[in-house]
Structure 1
Amino acid sequence: MNDASRYAEARLLTAKDLAGSFPGTTEGTAASKLIPELEEDVRKANLGKQWVYRSYDDPMTSEASVTAEVSSSNTHEFDRPYSRPQHATLTIRKHPQHGSDVIMSIERGQLLCRSYSGCKVLVRFGDEKPRTYEAAGPSDNSTTLLFIRGYSDFVRRMASADVVRIQAEVYQEGAPAWEFDTSGFDPSKLKQ
């Protein structure tokens, strides 16, 4: 538990085991006092690991397209034919042809957001009040993703929030909200 050369996760497990197995002893008391510090060390060590950053060359421009993706920490299960729990994905993209985008996608189902008429989504950054953003479906009219307008405002607010919740209407499913752990987002990794 006191060996700083060991991983924080291992030290935390040892401390919790000592505190739980030997309460009131010198070792148990010392372990109890160390647990909050080790929990913070574990949190810092894992900060941002939920983000997946990708880069690929756009074949038309030979320039880089970069994305940052995070899966929702919660799931929703829809009625047939879209049953089974599913996550949503939040993607931040910079593309040489299409510009900068905030994209939310689901695995199965029908987001009610058309390319020609658009829609509104409710977004909550951390503990702030929810904000309404305009959104649009893709030009091919597929129903599993939508583009949230206001890239700069969205990314600025997201960078200072550990959690982002997005509520969007889904055909015959109401307006479920997906929650994304956005802590540790690194905008510098989106440089083209």
Structure 2
Amino acid sequence: MNHRTILCAALLALAATAVSGCGDRSAQEAARAAAQTAADEKAAREYADGFDAAVAAENWTLAKAQGDVLFARFPDTQQAARIRPHYEDAKAKADALREAARVAALWSYQAENVKGGQQLSAAIYSKEAVDTDGSGANPVRLIFRDHPTWGTSSYLVLQAGDFACYGGCKVKVKIDDAAPKSMPALRPDTDDAIAMFINDEKALWRMLKGATQVSVEFPVKAGGTRTAVFEVAGLDRKKLPGWD
């Protein structure tokens, strides 16, 4: 066998080895990819099963959380594809629950023993602070009160400035997108608090039923009017029994 023949044989053998090596690497990579896919599916199933269990229990907050993790960590799995059509409904319900809890927490309630019985109240601060006298913005408070001696009342309280309503005035009350309604009000001649009563408290209370937002435009001593907006959807009406 001459040198040329030997060289050709060696080159053919080397080429065959290279092809064989490439085939082995491709097979190994395919095997690794398949193993990773199987591992991802197994891990994803834990969250998908958790989602299913939370939905069955109507625990929408947990269902949303399980779905969020699943889509963040294993978005391309079959498990993610399976629950995706049901996720938006669970998310919407979880978001609604969170919003309901948020607006409910805006209200504060008190039951206080006073002379003659028990005073009950429900109060909420304005969504945004209001500058009522030029000194800067401060929250405005809306209060419904049931007193054993003084009866029922609704009133606004300022932290600064004053109302221009001594002797009586009109305020404009707007519920959501409805047209504003003019209501009589009165700033009592007292220094106990910077307060202005909205005279028909039961009417105002009824107006809040089913409402999301109420705004009250009122005159101020500094001149002109100001408007306070309250997110009232979370009011627990049972806190003032007998008002409805």
Shorter-normalised TM range: 0.7 to 0.9
Q: Which amino acid aligns with 1:56?
A: E
| TM-score scaled by length of structure 1 | 0.79
Conserved 8 A contact 2:63-2:90 = no
1:67 to 101, 116, 121: 121
**Which amino acid in structure 2 is aligned with residue 53 of structure 1?**
Y
User: Gaps spanning 5+ residues in structure 2: where?
Assistant: 1-46
Distance 1:105 1:121 in 2: 14
* Equivalent residue number for residue 7 of structure 2: none
Aligned residue identity for 2:146? K
For residues 16 and 149 of structure 1, do their structure 2 counterparts lie closer, same or farther at Cα, with a shift above 3 Å needed? farther
Which structure has more relative contact order (CA 8 Å, sep 6+)? It is 1
Does 2:179 match 1:132? no
Change (3 A) 1:15 1:107: farther
Answer yes or no: is the 8 Å Cα contact 1:109–1:143 preserved in 2: no
The answer to whether the aligner puts 1:107 opposite 2:177 as a matched pair is no
Q: Report the residue type matching 1:138 in the other structure.
A: P
Q: 1:174 to 1:23 in 2, by over 3 A?
A: farther
SS in 2 for 1:188: helix
Which residue is 1:191 aligned to?
A: 241
Is the 1:105–1:145 contact (alpha carbons within 8 Å) kept by the matching residues of 2?
yes
Find the aligned partners of 1:23 and 1:171 in 2 and give their Cα distance: 61
CA contact (8 A) 1:16 1:32 kept: no
Is the counterpart of residue 162 in structure 1 residue 218 in structure 2?
A: no
Task: Compute the TM-score of the two structures, normalised by the length of structure 2.
Answer: 0.64
1:64-103 equivalent positions in 2, closer than 5 A: 64-78=118-132, 80=134, 82-83=135-136, 85-103=137-155
- State the match for 1:147 in structure 2: 197
Cα pair distance change 1:37/1:55, threshold 3 Å? closer
1: CA distance between counterparts of 2:74 and 2:131? 43
Identity of aligned residues (%): 20
The 1:15/1:89 distance shift into structure 2, 3 A limit, reads: farther
1:145 shift after superposition: 1.5
Tell me how far apart the structure 2 counterparts of residues 151 and 167 of structure 1 sit (CA, whole Å).
16
CA contact (8 A) 1:76 1:87 kept: yes
Coordinate RMSD, CA, aligned: 3.1
Alignment check: 8 A CA contact 1:15 1:32 kept: no
Paired residues of 2:133 and 2:162 also in contact (CA < 8 A): no
Q: Distance in 2 between matches of 1:167 and 1:12?
A: 40
Aligned mates of 2:69, 2:125 — CA distance in 1: 32
Other structure's SS at 1:35 match: helix
3-state secondary structure, aligned to 1:140: coil
Q: 1:135 to 1:11 in 2, by over 3 A?
A: same
CA-CA distance at 1:32 after TM superposition: 4.9
Q: Which blocks of at least 5 consecutive residues in structure 1 are unaligned?
A: none
Instruction: Name the count of aligned residue pairs.
Output: 185
Q: Which moved more, 1:179-188 or 1:89-98?
A: 179-188
Which amino acid in 2 is paired with 1:108? A
SS of the residue 2:154 aligns to: strand
Task: Decide whether the 8 Å contact of 1:55 with 1:65 is kept in 2.
Answer: yes
1:110–1:143 CA contact under 8 A, matched in 2:
no
Q: Which amino acid aligns with 1:50?
A: L
Q: Is the 8 A contact 1:137 1:143 kept in 2?
A: no
Higher CA-based Rg:
2
Q: Equivalents in 2 of 1:33, 1:57: separation in Å?
A: 46
CA positional deviation for 1:175: 1.4
